[in-house]
Structure 1
Amino acid sequence: MKKYRLLVLTDHRGHSTENSIYPLLLEMRKHKRCAGIDVASRGLENNRLFFENRAVKNLFAAPVSQTFAWDEAGSAFKKNLERVSPRTYDAVLLRLPHPVVEEFWGFLETEFPSVYFINNPAGMLKTGNKLFMLNFQELCPPMKACHSIEDIDEMRKQFPVVLKPVMSYGGKGIVRIKGDEVVFSEGEKMSFGQFAEAYHQHPEPYLAVKFLRNVTEGDKRIVVCCGEVLGAVLRYPPADSWICNVAQGGSSAESAPDENELAIVARIDPVMRENGVIFYGIDTLCDDEGRRELSEINALSIGGLHAMRTPAGVPATKRAAELLWERIYEEHKAEK
């Protein structure tokens, strides 16, 4: 049986015991098609030139062993480091959280055109922009790209809105506007007039979305790999908050996608795959009638996988490993 080598690009600095990359890579390591997995972290000083300056020869990776696990020191990413090149691997798995500058995606595409990336760098750039959601407005709450305070004012006069900074991440910089009251996700409050003054001084693009009052019902993360739904997890906001983000103090519980959410996946998956994105997560929220609507798409560093099981009861990380190796096999078989 043909076996393959995998390189993983990630950043261990934001990891915790809850990060899915550890059980996922351990499952991939055990698979019969695995000839070896190396992992390179953006968080290592050794790799700064590769990730920041796009210096091709300055990438160092550590082998994934059977003891691959998280610790505060990031030991798993520092042991037995060797200089590597993505060109020498059969596939490269991208698990890079924000921030990632646009130039880095272009660097990967230009410098390593023959490398099979999961996911495609150009596809990551395109689908990682919040404005990509505008391609699926029929699946989402009312939304609009706002490039001026007038755009924002028009939206907030229709209903309470949430403003999502186009290039932000992790629930940072989100703004809720209800009438004249403006509340930032970090807790700061001001009037809309004060917000308008601040905006004029530092304008930035937002995706404005109708605020859904059922936010306490939880934000459901659903993970998809190679067209297959792997599972779901519900993430609840902390007490007295409206942000369903575990990184900001929320909680989570295992869940399952409903029929409407499966229909959402069926609608967006062909578009994602056209862009070379086969491993991603979507988030849904309950609308005012209790129906779940699409709220986010995430293909960068997909969270929640470790807590999920497939409908057949298989750990989602195990099933993801099977699907990813099969996809790598199919990719190389097609090249012959």
Structure 2
Amino acid sequence: MGTSLGVIMDPIQSISFYKDSTLAILLAAQAQGFELFYMEQSDLYIDNTGPKAQLRPLKVFNDANKWFELGDSRDAALEEMDVLVMRKDPPFDSEFIYSTYILEAAERRGSLVVNKPQSLRDCNEKVFATEFPQCTPPLLVSRDQERLKGFLTEHQDVVYKPLDGMGGTSIFRVKEGDQNLNVILETVTKQGTETIMAQKFMPQITQGDKRILVVGGEIIPFCLARIPTGSDFRGNLAAGGRGVVQPLSERDLWIAQQVAPTLKERGLIFVGLDVIGDYLTEINVTSPTCIREIDNAENTQIGKRLIDAVRARLDQR
């Protein structure tokens, strides 16, 4: 058997062929001779002999009518996989954490896991950004509703968002004097039982919420600016924003350079930084997207770069 790569992802039959980043990664791996295997989160398990999964051989095709083919399933030890790529989309919940425990057990037995399971747990996509205060806007992480109200009083126009979501879900923009403030905070904090993030609203969102990709510590020189529609302040593509590929600005590059060395140290091989205006807002480590949009516009071959970075780490072993 050649070099094997197992992917843990959402159901492959349900992905968007034209913009799915996991498919881009798998096409690049297959082109470089990797033997592919497919798993969903529910296929992972541990028994007395170690971490295992019910997996299926996978072939992928750059064809909108048929982009995958699966073979017969079998149970196997996860360490049979040279590489395991965790591409399960958020929410980052207890089940996601349990999956990282199983993947970490495979890592101890010799598999390279992308991204590193410990770092998937440690680096919450919102809170991780607070490690780089020189890059972030005014923010607050709390579940105390009076403290969160005080943040609004100070900054007048803010965004409240949960710490475990994706795609712009459950994000609220609130201005001072909004009579819905109490119910919004009760909803987002679930009556004060869950911690959230507040950030000062940045009007530069009209120019786009920029997704900057970092692969193996190297910064991709183009980003996808996700621009809101006139009826919604959110730029997320899932919330109806439109994507425009553009070169990184000097400030974009500076922000990425601040973060990239830490990503490499923590075994975060593929990461997406979100930048609005001059500020870093999130660091996406679980299942970053936008490969295909940037590749289609600029032929950046991000999937290939990622597989090259994976091969380099395998060679180091």
State the partner residue of 1:299: 285
Render the CA deviation track for 1:179-225: whole Å, top value 9, x for unaligned.
122xxxxxxxx522444565573532111100011211101111111
> TM-score, normalized by length of structure 2?
0.86
Q: Give runs of aligned pairs for residues 246-325 of structure 1, distance below 5 A.
A: 246-286=237-277, 292-309=278-295, 313-325=299-311
> TM-score, normalized by length of structure 1?
0.81
Aligned length: 307
State the partner residue of 2:206: 216
- The CA deviation at 1:304 is 0.5
Check conservation: 1:26, 1:68, Cα contact below 8 A. Answer: yes
SS at match of 1:157: helix
State the partner residue of 1:174: 171
Q: Distance in 2 between matches of 1:197 and 1:323?
A: 44
Residue 38 and residue 233 in structure 1: after superposition, are their counterparts in 2 closer, same or farther (change >3 A)?
same
Q: Distance in 1 between matches of 2:125 and 2:114?
A: 18
Unaligned regions of 5+ residues in structure 1, if any? 43-47, 182-189, 287-291
Q: Which amino acid aligns with 1:221?
A: R
State the partner residue of 2:223: 232
Unaligned regions of 5+ residues in structure 2, if any? none
Q: Distance in 2 between matches of 1:293 and 1:309?
A: 24
Render the CA deviation track for 1:127-169: whole Å, top value 9, x for unaligned.
1342122111210111111220011111000111111111222
Q: Which amino acid aligns with 1:178?
A: K
SS at match of 2:89: coil
Check conservation: 2:125, 2:283, Cα contact below 8 A. Answer: no
Check conservation: 1:62, 1:81, Cα contact below 8 A. Answer: yes
State the partner residue of 1:11: 10
Q: Distance in 1 between matches of 2:141 and 2:46?
A: 30
1:64 aligns with 2:50: no
Q: Distance in 2 between matches of 1:294 and 1:169?
A: 16
CA RMSD of aligned residues (A): 2.9
- The CA deviation at 1:235 is 0.8
Q: Which amino acid aligns with 2:37?
A: D
Check conservation: 2:51, 2:103, Cα contact below 8 A. Answer: no
Q: Distance in 2 between matches of 1:311 and 1:249?
A: 20
SS at match of 1:139: coil
- The CA deviation at 1:79 is 3.8
Given candidates 76, 80, 93, the residue that maps to 1:88 is: 80
Q: Distance in 1 between matches of 2:113 and 2:80?
A: 13
1:162 aligns with 2:159: yes
Check conservation: 2:107, 2:113, Cα contact below 8 A. Answer: no
Residue 110 and residue 192 in structure 1: after superposition, are their counterparts in 2 closer, same or farther (change >3 A)?
same
State the partner residue of 1:144: 140
Q: Distance in 2 between matches of 1:299 and 1:194?
A: 31
Q: Distance in 2 between matches of 1:195 and 1:52?
A: 41
